[in-house]
Amino acid sequence: MSQGPKTKSENEWRAILTPEQFRILRQKGTERAGTGEYEKFKGEGIYSCAGCGTPLYKSATKFDSGCGWPAFFDAIPGAVTRTPDHSGGYTRTEITCTACGGHLGHVFSGEGFKTPTDERHCVNSISIKFGDEKASA
Q: Which residues are catalytic?
A: 122
- Contact indicator for 37, 73 with CB cutoff of 8 Å: no
- Contact indicator for 56, 75 with CB cutoff of 8 Å: yes
Q: Which of 73, 80, 120 is nearest to 103 (CA)?
A: 80
- For the chain, what's the residue count? 137
Which residues of the chain form beta strands (DSSP E)? 45-49, 55-58, 62-63, 71-72, 80-85, 92-97, 103-109, 119-123, 128-132
User: What is the rounded end-to-end Cα distance, in angstroms, of the chain?
Assistant: 29
